[in-house]
Amino acid sequence: MTSQVPQRPWLQRWHVKPIGWTLLLVGLLIASSRMTGVDVGMFFSNLGQFTDLLVRMSRPAWDYLPVILQPLYETIQMAILGTTIGAAFAVPFAVLAASNLVHNRWLRGIIRLILDLVRTLPDLLLAAIFVAIFGIGSTAGVVTLAIFSFGMVSKLFYEVIETIDMGPLEALESVGANKLTIIWYAVLPQILNQFVSYFLYTLEINVRASTVLGYLGAGGIGVFLQRSLNQFNYSQTAVIILATLVVVMVIDGISNHLRRVLL
Amino acid sequence: MEATPIISFKNVNKIYDNGTVGLKDINFDIPRGEFLVVVGLSGAGKSTLLRTINRMHEITSGEIRIENEPISQYKGRSLRLLRRKIGMIFQNFNLVKRSSVAKNVLAGRVSYYPTWKSILSLFSAADKQKAVQSLQRVSLAEKLYARADELSGGQQQRVAIARTLMQDPKIILADEPIASLDPLTTKTVMDILKRLNQEDGITVIVNLHSVALARAYADRIVGLRAGEVVYDEPIGQVTEADLNRVYQTV
Ligand SMILES: Nc1ncnc2c1ncn2[C@@H]1O[C@H](COP(=O)(O)OP(=O)(O)OP(=O)(O)O)[C@@H](O)[C@H]1O
Ligand SMILES: [Mg+2]
């Protein structure tokens, strides 16, 4: 007797599910652009203005470069400081939010609620608030980046923690180790590489973000970006953008390299 | 004369939260220095039994005594001190794969140190020496600085045994320690456990699936079925036919 090969159900044969999902997504896309009043036509008809801008930026004023080196340096410092502070605070919160480490549903729920709240605050709003509190300058930028990184990194961190192998924790528990020692010996080595990798990733994002934050007066290169744009000095704008691009690329390169070495 | 058993179970029952019966009216004593093998089908309750001894699982009713002390009231530090004298070996070795062998072995000693010293790895020179000696006992001293995930399964299990030795255990619990090993490494690991039992007088309790292995190493065999002890004989009296009772279904 030969065993029967089952018939392929028609649902699979005609790819009903993928086609259905695609149609639904396209439908949603059209509906949402209608509702929010996005005018795709206007985007294309105004492309001319954009090319005009590009032409005016095509002659970078290189003599402006020495002026922006210092603020560029400040931007990098802001990003590193903000990311480090945010990530440092994220570690204990991530541990408390991880369902495989904290079995108390209430504690976990409260911690996650706090994290969700922090993530909901837009970084631009934060920057505006802290510029109002600390005045124009990099302090406001660092605090904003720290809070922004904290929200982002803590979620990434606790998701990493939730994927670890629980075996070593069991072993350390059976040895008679206390909670803190268990985390240090059995959890940390398993997550350290991914933590560093996410830290670097957040740092990249923060270097970019801090240029925008500077726009609100939160220090760094963004202040100069805003000034040049206000003065319609597009050749200076071009220098700022190109210099920032170089910095972002260098940091990308370094962090990509470190991540490859680590993982 | 030492007559009191090192471990004693009295009317021990364990019912899991979902209603599954883990252990049912367990009564038996384990004398100091015994090599006890627990056999039984999958789901018979072997792991449950083992884990009640170091309180990794709580029992529902009854009493377990270790060195004549009821263990159920231990909390916090006293529970950690109980666990310190009971080593545990796992089927999956449970090493920290990214850490060095040395760090894995020293982790077995952390309960002898205050937390801050453990965290800063401030182990005494004597304990570092002890780590080397523990590895020598499982013939793996040359792997001291290797990363745990560079080792074969059998080697990892030997590192786990070395980690346990750092505790200076009076009891070793081994939950299917050889289930993921080949026959040759199985023999190596079982021989090590037997040697620790004979040379150091450590009481060893091993869960096994293989009856042949049980007969080769045990002083005594306990058979579990559906959470109940259905067999309990010293090795001299063990017969093949009897053991088959343990593996009857129903
Ligand atoms: N955490 C748990 N919650 C509910 N039931 C459990 C839990 N752990 C084990 N059980 C059940 O308790 C019974 C005994 O399980 P146990 O793991 O002790 O068996 P075992 O003899 O070790 O089996 P194996 O040889 O497969 O390891 C099984 O029916 C199992 O499904
Ligand atoms: Mg088991």
Return the percentage of chain A with pLDDT > 70, whole number: 98
User: What amino acid is encoded at B94 in this protein?
Assistant: N
- How close, in Å, is residue A175 to chain B by CA atoms? 5
Domain presence at residue A208: yes
**CA A94 to each of CA A81, A131, A159, A259: distance values in angstroms, whole numbers, following the listed order:** 20, 28, 8, 21
Q: Does A173 touch chain B (CB under 8 A)?
A: yes
Residue A87 lies in a domain: yes
pLDDT value of position B1: 45
- Mean pLDDT calculated for residue range A15-32: 88
- Whether residue A171 lies within 8 A of chain B, CB to CB, comes out as yes
Per-residue confidence band for A2, with pLDDT thresholds at 50, 70 and 90: low
**What is this model's ipTM?**
0.91
pLDDT for residue A43:
76
Protein residue closest via CA to atom 12 of ligand 1: B22
pLDDT at A109: 92
> Which residues in chain A have Cβ-Cβ distances shorter than 8 Å to B87?
174-175
Any idea how long chain A is? Answer: 263
**Residue B90 and residue A190: Cβ atoms within 8 Å?**
no
In the numeric block, which tokens belong to residue A169? 């924790």
Give the nearest partner residue to A175 out of B83, B92, B97, using CB atoms.
Answer: B83
What is the spatial distance between Cα A124 and Cα A144, in angstroms, rounded to a whole number? 8
| C-alpha A171 – ligand 1 centre gap (Å) | 18
Q: Measure in Å the smallest separation between the Cα of B40 and chain A Cα atoms.
A: 23
Residues B238-247 have pLDDT tens digits of 777 777 777 7
Mean of all residue pLDDT scores within chain B: 90
The two structure tokens encoding residue B90 = 């796992």
Which member of B83, B92, B98 has the closest CB to residue A176?
Answer: B83
Q: What is the pLDDT of residue A249?
A: 86
pLDDT winner (highest mean) among A97-111, A115-129, A229-243: A97-111
* B30 band by pLDDT with thresholds 50, 70 and 90: very high
- Reported as a single tens digit per residue, the pLDDT across A204-224 is 888 888 777 777 777 778 888
Q: What is the mean pLDDT of residues A81-104?
A: 91
Residue of B96, B121, B157, B167 to mutate, interface with A, max A Cβ within 10 Å: B96
Extract the tokens encoding B45.
């309750």
CB–CB contact A189 B99 (8 Å): yes
Q: Is the pLDDT of residue A1 over 60?
A: no
Instruction: Give me the sheet containing B203-208, strands edge to edge.
Output: B86-89, B171-175, B203-208, B35-40, B220-225, B228-234
pLDDT at B195 over 60: yes
Which amino acid residue places its CA nearest to atom 14 of ligand 1?
A: B45
B221: DSSP letter: E
Q: Looking at residues A41-53, what average pLDDT do you find?
A: 77
Q: Is B164 in the pocket of ligand 1 (CB under 6 A)?
A: no
pLDDT of residue B2: 54
Report the number of distinct structural domains present in chain A.
1
Q: Per the domain annotation, does A15 fall within a domain? A: no
Select the more confidently predicted residue: B73 or A58.
Answer: B73
Q: Which two tokens stand for residue B179?
A: 């289930």
For residue range A131-157, what is the model confidence (pLDDT) as tens digits?
A: 888 877 788 888 888 999 999 999 999
CA of A208 to the centre of ligand 2 (A): 52
Q: Which of residues 176-235 of A touch B (CB under 8 A)?
A: 176-178, 180-181, 184-186, 189-190, 192-193
Asked if A261 has any chain B CB less than 8 Å from its own CB, the reply is: no
Non-local CB neighbours of A204 within 8 Å, separated by 6+ positions: A248, A251, A252, A255
pLDDT tier for residue A42 given thresholds of 50, 70 and 90: confident
Asked whether residue A231 is domain-assigned, the answer is yes
Mean pLDDT, residues A155-175: 93
Q: Residue A246 sits in a domain of what CATH number?
A: 1.10.3720.10
Comparing CB atoms, the residue among A174, A181, A185 nearest residue B54 is A174
Q: Hey, whose CA ends up nearest to atom 30 of ligand 1?
A: B43
pLDDT of residue B168: 93
Give the confidence band of A263 by pLDDT, cuts at 50, 70, 90. Answer: low
Cβ proximity of B38 and B48 under 8 Å: no
Torsion of CA B232, B72, B93, A102, to 10 degrees: 150
Give the structural domain span for A120. 62-262
Q: Ligand 1 center to residue B79 CA distance, Å? A: 23
The arithmetic mean of pLDDT across residues B64-75, rounded, is 91
Q: How far apart are CA A198 and CA A146, in angstroms?
A: 14
Q: How far is the CA of B205 from the centre of ligand 1 (A)?
A: 18
The structure tokens listed for A152 are 């982002």
Q: For residue A34, is it within any domain? A: no
